[in-house]
Amino acid sequence: MNCLIINCSPVRTGATAEIVRIAAGELSTVMDTKCICIDDYSYSFCKGCRSCHLTGKCVQSDGVQALMDEFEWADVILAVSPSYWADVPGQFKAFIDRCTPWSNTHDPHSSLSSGKKGYTIALRTGPGMKECEGLFRTVEHFFGHLEIAACGHLGLCSVENKNDVLPRKDEIIAFCRDISA
Q: Is the pLDDT of residue 181 over 90?
A: no
Order of strands, edge to edge, in the sheet holding 149-156?
A: 32-37, 2-7, 76-82, 117-123, 149-156
For residue 154, what are the β-bridge partners? 121
The overall average pLDDT reported for the chain is 97
pTM, two decimal places: 0.97
144 and 109 Cβ atoms separated by less than 8 Å: no
Q: Is the pLDDT of residue 85 over 90?
A: yes
d(CA 67, CA 102): 12
User: For the chain, which domains are there?
Assistant: 2-180 (3.40.50.360)
Report, as an integer, the average pLDDT of 99-119.
Answer: 95
- The pLDDT score that the predictor gives to residue 22 is 98
d(CA 86, CA 71): 25
Report, as an integer, the average pLDDT of 102-117.
Answer: 95
Report, as an integer, the average pLDDT of 152-172.
Answer: 97
Cβ neighbours of residue 68 under 8 Å, at least 6 residues apart?
Answer: 99, 102, 110, 112
Q: Name the DSSP letter for residue 181.
A: -
In this prediction, residue 146 has a pLDDT band, given cuts at 50, 70 and 90, of very high
User: β-strands 76-82, 117-123: how paired?
Assistant: parallel
